[in-house]
Amino acid sequence: MNLDNYKLFTVGPTQMYESTLKVRSKVVPYFRTPEFSEMMLDSERLIKKLQFAPHDSKVVFLTASGSGAMEATVINCFNQNDKLLVISGGTFGERFEKICEIHQIPFEALKLGADEALESSHFQEFENQGFTGLLVNIDETYTGQLYDINIIRDFCDRNNLLLVVDAISSFLADPYYMEKNHIDATIISSQKGLCLAPGLSIITLSPRMVQKVESIKVASLYFDFNDYFINMMRGQTPFTPAVGVCFELNDMLHKIDEQGIDARLKEVKARCDYFRSSIQNLPIHLPKYPLSNAITPIRFEKDIAMDFFAYLKNEKHIMVNPVGGELGKRSIRVAHVGDLKLVDYDNLINEIKTYFNM
Ligand SMILES: *Cc1c(COP(=O)(O)O)cnc(C)c1O
């Protein structure tokens, strides 16, 4: 595969920033050193700051893709004595369901149809049913729906649930307030909004979730969060982390912190708004439910999505996100995270017009 000259409108891996590419070009150093520890503690501080996490939260740096972090979080935070509600509106919600099934953690799913927005009325049948936790992919990346955190938080408050949020595609694309929204676990991954190489996932746990984790004996060597807590007190991980990505991360966190989180979000939103307003007159439409700024799910009127995806990739060296499953025949997704300029979107829109002979 030729790596040159591709433009990525994909949600992860994304079009990486030049500063990240510079960091990536260096020798990956040995990491059991005070210097590396100091950098990791600095990254922990910045993650908590950018997520507006409670002061006494703990951060786990896990070398795994996002799904590994989802599984690790579920098995460290819950067990057979829990009863979870899973918001399931796409393939990532279904992944949470599968994790619960495999690990025999009792759960029920709040299922959404392909074009159905999550509303407070959906929660009525789940009130006072003895749930202890809720799992949600706040941007269900499969459909691009951004769920309303206010509805979810209020339900969790009323029913005294621990709230686990997979913010893997939403963080750094949509505003995210961990403490204000009473979120007990936040899961993110290096290759999405952070625009780094894949391999590193980060889980932030609220003080009350830390207490819960400390009370559970997880049947796993690699994914035992208590081991990560002890090591992180000195800025280390139990096992070799994705050391190179840790350096990319620290560089990116400083870049975002210096720019300011609001400015970073504004940048992503500007690309998103620009693209969505520019496609209004094309023979495509967008779903009606609330959308994340991370990605725009385009729906065509005919089953041409795979053909269009191949055309862009092979003829134009442009990568957009295909969609798996039934939705995939008529849908592609265009990301707004990554080092992309408005002129890049002009080019993409021109390609859409060429494809449709407009
Ligand atoms: C990308 C993504 C994941 C993680 O997928 P991996 O391929 O395992 O990194 C999980 N949840 C959501 C919502 C995602 O967008």
DSSP per-residue codes, 166-184? E-TTTBTTB---TTTTT-S
pLDDT of residue 4: 75
- Atom 4 of ligand 1: nearest residue by CA position: 66
* Atom from ligand 1 closest to the CA of residue 191: 9
Instruction: State in Å: Cα 67 to ligand 1 middle.
Output: 6
Instruction: State in Å: Cα 66 to ligand 1 middle.
Output: 5
Q: What is the pLDDT of residues 103-158, one digit of tens each?
A: 999 999 999 998 999 999 999 999 999 999 999 999 999 999 999 999 999 999 99
**Omega into 283 within 30° of 0, i.e. cis?**
no
Assigned token pair, 150: 């206010």
Phi/psi class of residue 325: alpha, beta or left (left: φ > 0; alpha: ψ in -120 to 50)? left
Assigned token pair, 340: 């992309």
Mutation pick for ligand 1 pocket among 62, 70, 92 (CB with most ligand atoms within 8 Å)? 92
pLDDT of residue 357: 80
CB 333 within 8 A of CB 212: no
CB 62 within 8 A of CB 164: no
- Pocket lining for ligand 1, CB < 6 angstroms: 12, 65-67, 92, 137, 141, 166, 168-169, 189, 192
DSSP secondary structure code for residue 112 in this structure: -
pLDDT of residue 325: 86
pLDDT of residue 110: 98
Range list of H helices, the chain? 18-24, 34-50, 66-77, 91-102, 149-159, 207-215, 225-232, 243-259, 261-278, 305-316, 342-355
pLDDT of residue 326: 83
pLDDT of residue 196: 98
- Atom 12 of ligand 1: nearest residue by CA position: 168
What is the pLDDT tens value at each position of the chain, 358 positions in all? 777 789 999 999 999 999 999 999 999 999 999 999 999 999 999 999 999 999 999 999 999 999 999 999 999 999 999 999 999 999 999 999 999 999 999 999 999 998 999 999 999 999 999 999 999 999 999 999 999 999 999 999 999 999 999 999 999 999 999 999 999 999 999 999 999 999 999 999 999 999 999 999 999 999 999 999 999 999 999 999 999 999 999 999 999 999 999 999 999 999 999 999 999 888 899 999 999 999 999 999 999 999 999 999 999 999 999 998 888 999 999 999 999 999 999 999 999 999 888 7
The CA distance from 253 to 277, in Å, is 30
CA angle (340, 9, 164) in 5-degree steps: 100
Assigned token pair, 198: 């894949």
Only one residue has tokens 């909004």, namely 193
Q: What is the CA radius of gyration of the chain?
A: 20
CA distance to 9, 94, 169, 290, per residue, from 326 (Å): 22, 15, 21, 21
* Atom from ligand 1 closest to the CA of residue 139: 13
The CA distance from 291 to 309, in Å, is 21
- Atom 3 of ligand 1: nearest residue by CA position: 66
DSSP secondary structure code for residue 220 in this structure: -
CA angle (266, 269, 273) in 5-degree steps: 135
* Atom from ligand 1 closest to the CA of residue 68: 8
- The pairing of strands 295-300 and 185-189 is unpaired
pLDDT of residue 44: 98
Instruction: State in Å: Cα 167 to ligand 1 middle.
Output: 9
pTM value is 0.97
pLDDT of residue 5: 82
Mutation pick for ligand 1 pocket among 74, 141, 187 (CB with most ligand atoms within 8 Å)? 141
Q: Across-strand partners of 59? A: 204
pLDDT of residue 162: 98
